[in-house]
Amino acid sequence: MKYLVTGGAGFIGSNLVKLLISKGLDVKVIDNFSTGYKKNLGNFDIEIIDGDIRNKELVEKSTSDVDIIFHLAAHIGNVKSINNSIEDSDINVLGTLNILEAARKNNVRKIVYSSSAAIFGELLTMPIDEKHPQNPDSPYGVSKLAAEKHILCFGKLYDIITVCLRYFNVYGVNQRYDAYGNVIPIFANNLFENKNITIFGDGTQTRDFINVKDVAKANYLTSQKAEESDVFNVGSGTEITINELTVLVQDASGIQTNIEYAPSRKGEVKHCRADISKIKNRFDFSPDPDIKSGLTEYFEWFKKDRGGKK
């Protein structure tokens, strides 16, 4: 059995590839390296296809001998999508349709899709389960939801098991600084650049942080055990405030700095915590909620990687 990971050189994709290889599986990767890093794939004995999921012919050829696809390649970020809404949908929606059409033609039997909690928008209830209303507040959330709907539709129309994993705030090794990216590497970059940490809003907003190792595990478990199409939340099931996070990252890094506050940004929700009972009960998924040890591991990696090239 052969596995394809789109976006396999990226932050989450490379951690998934590492896990799959540790299981002795036959893996290949497609990535255009716009945000992925070749060094993330280390010395893995895998086929690496340098290409874009918007290239229909390349995608069709790349999936010709594949049984299961992990689709992670995406244009990522709420704020980034507001400034680049057309590119966001071009990659996340049309690129996904290329994957789906190729999977249909090549008789791929299962697709595990990396979705996002951004599809929900501002939360009406806490914790949030899979049935929560989906009213995204950014083009990114809209494009990820549209891709979800396409994927689940293909699962109904064709003989393909389609699984959508809705990630909450993922952090961990191989997550590098991006001004539009996740809050943890942004805070890390500021700490090592001797800059103040900026919090948008009053810092009481909450997030559900999950280690990328657990996200990789969720992908693997669903690829092996899912027997029907469905959607699942993937988070830690816990929440902390951004104010609390600033204390934790300073403790983990050993660097202290000042905190500045700025106005809240458009497209960002106030509170977020996942109900993960569905994936726990279905696949015995048990994430590690200990963010302190996860941050310590992350900062050890960040110190070594800082300043590295692709």
Catalytic residue numbers?
A: 140
Give 112's strand partners: 70, 163
Strand pairing report for 47-50 and 26-31:
parallel
Q: Measured between alpha carbons, how far is 65 from 24 in angstroms, rounded to an integer?
A: 18
Q: Which two tokens mark 20?
A: 């799959």
Q: Measured between alpha carbons, how far is 50 from 30 in angstroms, rounded to an integer?
A: 6
